[in-house]
Structure 1
C-alpha cells in the first residue's frame, strides 16, 4: 500500500504542474518547481514557472528560472530572451545579470557577456563568481591584463578559490612573470591537492623554465590524478621531446590523441616527433591530415612544407606545387586588400630596411645576420628589426644594439604588424624565416612594403606572389636551373649567399686526432633527420674501406634510443659494426660544442639536405668537410660554402666521387695537418667571413631592387 500512495502523490504533483497551482502560494510553487528540477524533471518545473507567471505576470524570478531551464535544454537563444525579460522586471538583480553573462558567453558573444558580468558586479562588488567569470570572458577576449585584475579580486574575496589561482597563473605565465605564476599554481594545489589541471599547468611553466625533471614529475602526477586529461599527456610529450626521449614523446602524443582525436596541435607535435626519429612519411601524414580537416591551420602548413624539404628524393615540381597551394590558401584572399605604397620613389635616398624573424637570438639565423647588422652603413640604410620571439638572451641584446629600431612583435596580430611596418614606411622588408617555426609570412602576404625579400632561414620558395625576391648565389642556385620553381625572382649575390661570423669564444684549433690515435674519425653534427639510407650507404662505403676508422654523430636526437638503434642497424646491414658508430650527447654550452670538433678529422656533409651552420663551424675548427652537390638549394649549400673559401676539391658530383674524396683525404695525414693549421686563416680571409664586404654587396642588391621599383612608379 505504501508504494501505491507514493505513486498517487507523484501523479497528483504532475497534475498540479499542468493544470494550475491549486491553491499553492507563489513561494510554495517555487519550492515545488525546485524539487522537480532536483529530480531532473525539467518540463514539470517549467510548467510550474509558467503557472506562476499566469498568476503573477511580472514575476522576474519565474522568467529567470525559465531562462535557466531553457539553457539547460540547449535552447540558449530563448534562455537569453527570458533572462533579459527578468532583468527588465528587476534590473537591480546581480544574479540575473550574472546568469545572462553566462548564457552570452556560451553563445560566443563575449563583449555582451563582459558587459553583463560588469552589471552584476556593479550591483554586488564582492560577487566572486561574477568576477571569476568576467576574468574568464576577458581572458577569452584577449584582454589579459584586465582578466588578471579580476582573478586577483576573486582570490582576495575568496582565498580558497583554486580555479582563480590556476587561471591567474596561466595569464602570468603568458606575460613571462614566471615567479608569480609558480606561486599561483602552487597556491591552487595547496587548496586543492588533486587539481590535475593546475598540476599540469605548473609542469608547463617548469618546462619553460628548463626545469625538465620537475616538469616531468608534475605531468606524471597530473596523469595519475586524472588519466583522461589529454593536455597532461600532451604536455608530458613536450617535456620528453625536449629531454630527447623521442619514443616516449611519441607515445604520449598518441595517448593524448586517443583521448582527444581532433586536437590538431597534438597531431602536429606528433608529426614533429616522428620527423625527429626519421619517420618522415608518417610525419607528413600527420600534417596532411590537419590540413585536410583544417585547411587554414598555418602551423600545419609550415611543418608540412619544411618537412617536405628533408625527403630523400625531393621533387622540385611537387615542392613548388605545395608552396603555391599554401599561397592560394593564405595569400589569395588578402590580395584584394593590398594597399598602394606611399614611399618616396627616390632611387638614391637612404633606405629603410626591415628584418623579420623569430631567430634574432642564439640561433643559426642569428649567427648569419649578426655581421650584416653590425656592418650596415648608417648613411645608406636605416635598420628596423621586428623580433617575433619573447626569448631574450645576450645574443639578441647584441643584435638589438646594432639596429636603429627594435620592435618585439610576437604579441601583434598579422594585421597589426603589417600596419606597424606600413607606419614605419619600410622600403625593403626581409623575411629571415620562410616556412620555418615562428615565421610571419602572413604579414608579407599583406604586402606592407613595396619590395619584399626572403633570405637565410628557408632553402626554397615561399610560394607568395607578394615576395619579390629570394637572395641566393650562383653556386647554391645555378642560373637557369631553378627559376621555374620559384614565385620570387632569384637575386644572386656575387660570392656566397651568406656570411659567417665566428663566435669570439670559439676554442683554439687542435691537431687532427688521427695524429695521436692512428685512426680517422669522420663526423657529422647535422640534424639526424637529414641522414637517409642513401647517406648511410656512402658513409658505410667509406668506413668499410678504412676498417680502423669510426664515425661520430651529434645532434639533438643523439640521446634517443630508437634513433641510435635505427642508424646502427642500417650500418650493420652494410657491413659496419655498431662499435664503430658513436653518438655524442647534447652539450650545454657553445664552447663545449665547438671543442668536440677537436675529436674529428674529417666532416661528412649530409645529402641531399646539406648542413650550413655545422659546415661553417667545422671549417672554423680546422675540420675539412666533404660535400655532395645536389640539384636544389638544400643540396648545394656545401658547394656554396666550400667555393667561397677556395676548397672546391672537397665538392663531389656523385656518390662514388664523394666516397673517393673522403678516402683520398683520409689517406693523406700531411694534408690533414696542413688544412688544420691553415683553415681558420683561410676562412677569415675569404668572402664567407668578410662581414663588411658582404654587407656592401647586400646593400648593393637592395639598392638595385629599390631602383627597379622606383623605375616602375
Structure 2
C-alpha cells in the first residue's frame, strides 16, 4: 500500500463505519479528511456524496457524485446514487438518465431498475414505471419499495387490481411497524387520520434525525413585552408561487393583507416563470425571496436574521416541499396551512389552520399542532379567477348534444373503484348521461373504459377532457350538470372551481381532513344538503338531482348568487379572519403563553374562543 494513501484509507474505513451506524455528520467529516489526504479517490468522493445526500443536502451530493464519476465513470453504484440524489431533489429526468447509465454498465442491477421506475413515476410515465416495478417485487432487498412504486403507478393509471394487490403488501408492512408509506401517499391510501399522523410523525422524526441539526428554539419574549411597535413579519413558504392551484386560491389574499400590520415575505423554492401569475405574486408581497439554490439551513438562517415572526408552510408533506427548513424552528411561530391536509407530525409546528368541519375539536388528538378554526371554511379563494368570455361547445368537448353530464374532474389518482362503480350505476340509471373526466393518458382511458364495460356500461359514455388554461377550464363547466366527488381524498381546489363556475358538487364526507374539504366548502357556500355520509346516500342524492332538472337549476341559481354573497368567496372578510388568527398567535407569544387551540369568531373584532383546555377566550388588541 502506498504510504501516502494509508491515512486516507483509514479515514475512509472510519467514515464508512460511522455512516452505517447513522452518524452522518461524523462520517462526512471522516470522508472530507480522507479526500484532503487523497483528493482523487473516487470512492471517497462517492461516499461523501451519499453522506451529505442522506442529510438532505442534495445539490452538494450531486456535486460530489459527479466528481467521483468523472474519475471513475464505470461505477454503476455511483450512477445509481446520483439517480437517487436527482430523485430526492425533484430532477426526475436527470434521475432517469443517471439510472440508465447505471443499467448500461450493469443491466441486471435491481436498485438502478427501481430508481428508473421511480423516475418514470415522477415523469408521469406510469405504464413504464409499473412494468419495471412489478418485476422487482420478488427481490428481497427491494420488495417493499417496489410495491410502493407499483401502488403509486397503478393508482395513477386507475389499474385498481394492481393497486389493490400492492396495497395488501403495503398494509402488511404497516401492520409490522414499517412506516414506508410517505405521508402524502397515506392520504390516498386510507381514510384514516391516525395513519396519516403516524406517517407524518415518522417522516418528521426521520428528517430531524438525518439532518442532525437541533431545532433553533428562539427565546419566548417576556410577558411584559409590549404588543409590538412595528409590523408583524409574516412569511409564506412554498414551491408554488407560479401557475399552480395554491397560487390560484391565495393570490388575492396576499394582495389584501393589511400592510399596516403585516410585512409579508414570500419564500419561494419552486420554479421561476414569466407568467402573469408569477408577476402578480411578486407585486403582492413586500419581499420576494427566491431560495431555490439555498440549503434548508441557509434559508432558516436568513429567516432568523430577517426576524420573521410567523412562518406559514403552504407545502407540508407534498411534492417539492422542504419541511427541513421549518424543522429548524427559524421563527417563533410556525403554521401549517392549506397545502397539506393533515398534521406535519412535529411539535415544531405550533398551529394548523382549519375549520370546524375539516378539523373538528374532537379530532385534536390526531394533530401535533394546535388547531385554529376559521369561520365558515379554512380555504381562501381568489375572486379574480377568470372565466373565459366564450366557452367551448359540447361538441368541442366530445359531449353529446343532450343528456346529463356527470363531471369528475379530480386528478384520476384520487378515483377509487367503489366510487367509480357508483358512477357506473348512475350512468345505467340515467339514460343518455355521460361521465366527464380529465385525462389525456391513453392507458388511463383504456383502464377506465374496461372498468365501465365490466359494469355493463358502454365505454364511450366516458368522455375525457384535455388540460386547458384555467379560464377555459372554468368556462367549460357550463356543460356539467354536477361534479361528483370521491374519497378518501376529496376534490379541494376542484370543488372551489366548480362552485365558482356555478356547478353543484355532491360529496361524501370522510374521517380525515383530506376527505372533509368539499363538505367545508359546501357549507361555506350555503349548500350543506349536498354533503352525504355514506356511499349509498351519495349515490341516491346524485341520482335524485340527475332526474330533477328543476332542482339542479335551483342549485345553479343559488351558486350564481353566491359568487357575490357567500362567505367562501368573500376574500376580504376571509383575510381579516386569517389575520385575526395570526394576531392571536403573535400576542399569545408576546404574553409568554404557549400555543393553544382557538376558534376565530364570525364577528371581526370579537374575542377568539378557546378550544379544548385553553382556560378562557382571548381578546386581541386592536392597537
In the superposition, the TM-score normalised over structure 2's length comes to 0.73
* SS class of match (2:483): strand
Equivalent position of 2:518 in the other structure:
638
Q: Which has the larger radius of gyration?
A: 1
Aligned length: 561
Q: 2:220·2:590 contact (CA, 8 Å) conserved in 1? A: no
Equivalent position of 2:20 in the other structure:
none
Equivalent position of 2:350 in the other structure:
468
Q: Deviations over 1:233-269 (max 9, x none)?
A: 4565356446654232112235578789459987764
Q: Deviations over 1:386-439 (max 9, x none)?
A: 223345463345323322233344544444443333222222221222232233
Match of 2:188 among 310, 321, 341: 310
After TM superposition, give the deviation of residue 367 of structure 1 in Å. 2.1
- Structure 1 range deviating more: 226-235 or 130-139: 130-139
C-alpha change, 1:248 and 1:670, in structure 2 (3 Å) is same
After TM superposition, give the deviation of residue 522 of structure 1 in Å. 0.5
For 1:689 and 1:400, locate their aligned partners in 2 and report how far apart those are by CA, in whole Å: 23
Q: Does 1:248 align with 2:128?
A: yes
Equivalent position of 1:710 in the other structure:
590
Q: Does 1:431 align with 2:313?
A: yes
Equivalent position of 1:609 in the other structure:
489
Q: Does 1:381 align with 2:259?
A: no
Equivalent position of 2:408 in the other structure:
524
* SS class of match (2:240): coil
For 2:171 and 2:241, locate their aligned partners in 1 and report how far apart those are by CA, in whole Å: 27
For 2:571 and 2:263, locate their aligned partners in 1 and report how far apart those are by CA, in whole Å: 18
Match of 2:369 among 488, 499, 502: 488
Equivalent position of 2:31 in the other structure:
110
Match of 2:244 among 363, 387, 391: 363
Equivalent position of 1:455 in the other structure:
337
Q: Deviations over 1:656-711 (max 9, x none)?
A: 43233323332344554566577455325432233222111111111111222222
For 1:211 and 1:595, locate their aligned partners in 2 and report how far apart those are by CA, in whole Å: 33
- Higher helix proportion: 1
After TM superposition, give the deviation of residue 617 of structure 1 in Å. 1.7
Q: 1:521·1:549 contact (CA, 8 Å) conserved in 2? A: yes
Equivalent position of 1:662 in the other structure:
542
Give the aligned CA root-mean-square deviation in angstroms: 4.8
Unpaired runs of 5+ residues, structure 1, are: 1-66, 69-82, 84-95, 119-129, 153-161, 168-191
* SS class of match (1:498): coil
Unpaired runs of 5+ residues, structure 2, are: 16-29, 594-623
* SS class of match (1:538): helix
Q: 2:404·2:481 contact (CA, 8 Å) conserved in 1? A: yes
Q: 1:264·1:290 contact (CA, 8 Å) conserved in 2? A: no
After TM superposition, give the deviation of residue 643 of structure 1 in Å. 1.9
Equivalent position of 1:581 in the other structure:
462
C-alpha change, 1:560 and 1:464, in structure 2 (3 Å) is farther
After TM superposition, give the deviation of residue 281 of structure 1 in Å. 6.5
* SS class of match (1:346): coil
For 2:351 and 2:64, locate their aligned partners in 1 and report how far apart those are by CA, in whole Å: 47
After TM superposition, give the deviation of residue 380 of structure 1 in Å. 0.6
For 1:466 and 1:445, locate their aligned partners in 2 and report how far apart those are by CA, in whole Å: 6
* SS class of match (2:353): strand
- Structure 1 range deviating more: 635-644 or 404-413: 404-413
Q: 2:129·2:149 contact (CA, 8 Å) conserved in 1? A: no
Q: Deviations over 1:514-553 (max 9, x none)?
A: 9982211111111233222331343233222212211122
After TM superposition, give the deviation of residue 492 of structure 1 in Å. 0.9
Equivalent position of 1:542 in the other structure:
426
